Structure 1
Amino acid sequence: MAENRKRVVLIVVLLSILLSAVVAARRLVPSSVTSAVGSLPPMNYEELSSPPAQTTWNVPDYPAIGAMRDGGLHTLRLCETEFEGLEGTVYGLVPGREYGMIFIRDTSTMMPALQYFYGDQYLRTPIEEFLRRQYGSEAASADGDIPGDGAISGVIAAGGHIDKATVVSDEETHLIHAACQYYRAVGGTEWLQKELSGETIIARLNRALEWLYIHRFDDGHQLIKRGHTTDWGDIKLEAAPKPTNIDPDTDHWTCSIYDQALTYRALLDLAEMNQAVGDAARAHELKAQAEQLRRSANEKLWDSARGWYLLHLHVTPLVHDFPEEEMIGISNALAAHWGLSDPSRTQRLFSSLEGARLAARARKPGLSLYPPYPEGFFAHEQMSPGEYQNGGLWDWWGGMQITAEFETGFSAMALAHLRMVGKDWASHPAEVFEWQMPSTDEGWGSPNYASAAGTMTEAIVRGLFGVTIERDRARVLPRLRKHDGEIRAFQPSTGLYVSYDYMYGQDSIVLDYGSNHPRSIEVRLLFPLGRGIEEVSIDGAQVPHQVETLLQDSYCAFEAPSGVHRAMVRLQAH
């Protein structure tokens, strides 16, 4: 009896596997069948017509990219946390499982991914808690520092804990960006006008930026300043009991490309939000500030001879006995992505970043800087060459780099880089490391780093599949090139979804899609360079389109109605 039962179970398992294979084969028919209009497969109407249970994706040619979904989500789940805040429970994610606090810079960079797996409380409550704990004129950090009115803590934890890393200048800008992401995706204007402890959210955000310009704007260079870290790091060069705090009387000040890129983005984010609440005058002023900062950064930090932005310039005079100007930092990718750069600079800096990766023998993108600072330059013991923030390899930053490449006209490079990460993750499927040595597989820091899982998820959902879901817009920009793929993107906080099946053929590209978004879908479909567009149709009816070229990428742009439809782009003959 027991033996028969085992046979039955085995047969059921085998049938289940066979059925799954058949379903997968039907869902994504090989590309060859799409070369002729008459041989197209039927639409997967059932899946496309309703919100998926969860966000998933699949690229049959690259199963490692598909596997990154489960590895990333597993890491995010391990880093969930909750505690009692000032006015209710706070739900969020710590950067790594070993961390005991929610960090604003990590929250900001995880937001693009979290919105596809978590409900409203995980998106909204950390932002509101950071704002509720905003410093007043006499408020002190856990270490006794009094940063000044409007400042934002770098962390929040149970018991009202706040602590600002005063050596950096990105905590206010990260909070502004996190708030803008929530405003666009879920909150809307009503949320910006919500009062927290007697002050509206938009007023608190404005006060945060005012703190930055009062305490961190260098009049001489017309740039944002910070301590002497790497371009983005929070470890200063000087020896101190707490290396994340600056001594303004003795420590060195710099202006890094990282802070200029983040502040530029924050100024535009804040302008958008002020415009939404009807403050057009402030929005205009913020845009003017952004343009001034952009001009100053390009004038003073761009190295035209080398083709990248300098890590920083020195506000406090300091002469190194090594060529610091030969170092290239990962923040170059951020400057390109967030618009501080322009197309000609962007092309050069991505080429330079790739050259640095190859020179460092790094197996994937995300190289923090290269070459690193020499041994002993930083007093902190973990800042030896090639370690941590001094030349370590970070998936956290690699994810942002890949998204930047996808969105600035380098989709071929981005896909190649994403495949490198997928291959690396497959070698340690239960772990997403905080950072690694550039040329080895050895992982360091947290083995469950949610920040890395978040930015790599963004690189796939927003970068590769090109899906954006916001209250007022939905966008689909498939960058799969000649590889079939599918995505089911669901936003739990709103119930909105965008799903599609992408099929590439020699003469046509087919996009079967479904969405319940109240507005039409903006479609930008990447097509091969050197090919023209014969026509674009939706459900067999021809629709107008435009061709848009962004550096190395060309897109066929058209508007598509919400609902379930088949879009087809017919390519001109070679």
Structure 2
Amino acid sequence: MRRNLTFFGLTFILFSSGLSAQQKIPSKADQLKLAQTILADPKLKYVDSLARQVIKEGFNAGSGYSQIWARDLNTFIETALEERPAADVRGAILLFFQMQQPNGEMVDGYVLKKDFTWHDDTPYYSKNAPDHVGFKNTVETDQETSLIQLLGKYIQKTKDYGILDESIGGLSVKERIQLMLDYLRRERFNTTYGLLWGAMTADWGDVQPHDDFGCDWNALSNEAIDIYDNAMLIIALQNLIEIQPNGAKAADWKKFKKELETNSRRYLWDQKKQKFIPHIYPQHSPLPKGFDENQIHYHGGTAIAIEAGLLKRNEIKTVNRQMLENVRLSGMPSIGLTLYPTYPAGFFKGWMAEPYHYQNGGDWTWFGGRMIQQLVRNGFYQEAYDELGPMIDRVVKNKGFYEWYGKNDVPSGSGKFKGSAGVLSKAIALLHQWASETAK
């Protein structure tokens, strides 16, 4: 913890000494010095190498997980394509489409039937994949959008457009994509707000509060609209537009994307506080009486909203400063902090009942690394390098990629969490790309 804070201290020194919207633009000499520092940093190279070793092992989410999840593979597919045969990745993607249900919905993930060893009241089966069983955390609404993003990244990197015409059960992949979008608009779309909905969870999480298991939609669920689900759909639609610009549905996708962008800003962005509100509750709120949920900052959903292009550059600067301040106030190790302040003790059941556990304020590199990527892509190179530091340091210290971290940087969950490995590898690649171009 002490070492991480020391590494991270530069950020807070800069922040407290007046980094504002009016800060001086770094000179070419400053940019060159930063680029050289990045290129010479042995920890970045070590962590990238370690990430690649972990991702080489397969497409399952990590140690302790036999399942292959769309939302996880979506965050390490680019590195996987550099470390595994493209045909293997292609097969893993097509198996998701083979598991698609008759109503158009997509599973979270799948596993061989012989490895299906846990209790699940509602396993998913498909005649197109008789050797596999699927599963789905139905409180969430990011399964279809994760798969579309995953497919888009695969096509953009391999140029394998032929996968779109692959036939599964008499329907092409492109037809099955449209069935997924139709399912979302039919089953998970609130027409009053023009936005997707899911159950109330903590930020991007998949656990609802008043249920012992927490991952399945049931009588204890509360319909909620949040930025994460809608930003994920915006990104997915952009992916479709890029890989099928002349497709029969391209005009519809563009129109739908624009509506989502407009409604996300209109209903979810708090202009005064310069943050996204956590939720809209179209029906009943699960919150304790008198509890102001809008005091909570959602770090993960905000990072995905930036990726979706929903924030201007000055707004990105503002929310990043808010994240840094939240880290300071919470005492947590990095901007991977899920949310701040946390929900009250006991609001969630099980291991999320205590603040700073799991998705109720735990620190997840899986999303913090995505914020680093967005800082790089939007020109915040010094901030990206500084804020990446604690995440890199703990990988070096632990010689692995843990699922999440608690107070005092205590590692928890899977010790080889590929989502964490993937987002760090990609963040390092983006930094190295910028640094190499700057140092020429």
TM-score category by the smaller chain?
0.7 to 0.9
- Point out the structure with max Rg over C-alpha: 1
Structure with greater helix share of residues: 2
Partner AA of 1:63 in structure 2: P
What's the CA shift for 1:197?
Answer: 2.4
| Number of equivalenced pairs | 385
1:445 matched residue in structure 2: 413
Distance, in Å, in 1 between the alignment partners of 2:101 and 2:343 is 34
Partner AA of 1:100 in structure 2: S
Mark the CA change 1:186 to 1:58 in structure 2 (over 3 Å): closer, same or farther.
Answer: farther
For residues 407-446 of structure 1, what are the structure 2 equivalents within 5 Å? 407-429=377-399, 431-437=400-406, 439-446=407-414
Contact 1:237/1:377, CA 8 A, preserved across alignment: yes
2:153 matched residue in structure 1: 181
Query: Please, which of 252, 274, 278 is the counterpart of residue 307 of structure 1?
Result: 274
2:298 matched residue in structure 1: 329
Contact 2:332/2:409, CA 8 A, preserved across alignment: no
- For the aligned residue pairs, the C-alpha RMSD in angstroms reads 2.0
- Runs of at least 4 residues of structure 1 off by over 4 A? 57-60
Contact 2:77/2:422, CA 8 A, preserved across alignment: yes
TM-score by length of 1: 0.64
Mark the CA change 1:150 to 1:387 in structure 2 (over 3 Å): closer, same or farther.
Answer: same
Contact 2:209/2:347, CA 8 A, preserved across alignment: yes
Partner AA of 1:395 in structure 2: T
For residues 103-502 of structure 1, what are the structure 2 equivalents within 5 Å? 103-136=69-102, 149-159=103-113, 160-240=132-212, 242-247=213-218, 249-276=219-246, 278-279=247-248, 282-318=249-285, 319-320=287-288, 321-330=290-299, 331-429=301-399, 431-437=400-406, 439-461=407-429, 463-466=430-433, 478=434, 480=435
Mark the CA change 1:132 to 1:373 in structure 2 (over 3 Å): closer, same or farther.
Answer: same
SS of the residue 1:314 aligns to: coil
SS of the residue 2:395 aligns to: helix
2:119 matched residue in structure 1: none
1:553 matched residue in structure 2: none
**Offset from partner CA, 1:362-416 (integer Å, 9 cap, x none):** 3322111111111110123334210101100011111111101111221111011
Q: Which runs of 5+ in 1 are unaligned?
A: 1-34, 36-56, 81-92, 137-148, 467-477, 481-500, 511-574
Partner AA of 2:74 in structure 1: S
> Larger relative contact order (C-alpha < 8 A, sep ≥ 6)?
2
SS of the residue 2:192 aligns to: coil
**Offset from partner CA, 1:58-84 (integer Å, 9 cap, x none):** 956421111102321232244x2xxxx
Distance, in Å, in 1 between the alignment partners of 2:263 and 2:322 is 22
1:48 matched residue in structure 2: none
1:548 matched residue in structure 2: none
Contact 1:113/1:457, CA 8 A, preserved across alignment: yes
Worse-superposed segment, 440-449 or 57-66: 57-66
Distance, in Å, in 1 between the alignment partners of 2:78 and 2:98 is 23
For residues 56-67 of structure 1, what are the structure 2 equivalents within 5 Å? 59=38, 61-67=40-46
What's the CA shift for 1:271?
Answer: 2.7
Contact 1:192/1:201, CA 8 A, preserved across alignment: yes
Worse-superposed segment, 342-351 or 285-294: 342-351
Contact 1:58/1:66, CA 8 A, preserved across alignment: no
Contact 1:235/1:380, CA 8 A, preserved across alignment: no
**Offset from partner CA, 1:217-257 (integer Å, 9 cap, x none):** 011121110001012100011224x421111x552110011
Structure with greater strand share of residues: 1
Worse-superposed segment, 257-266 or 106-115: 106-115
TM-score by length of 2: 0.83
What's the CA shift for 1:329?
Answer: 1.0
SS of the residue 1:162 aligns to: strand
What's the CA shift for 1:326?
Answer: 0.8
Q: Percent identity?
A: 24
SS of the residue 1:157 aligns to: strand
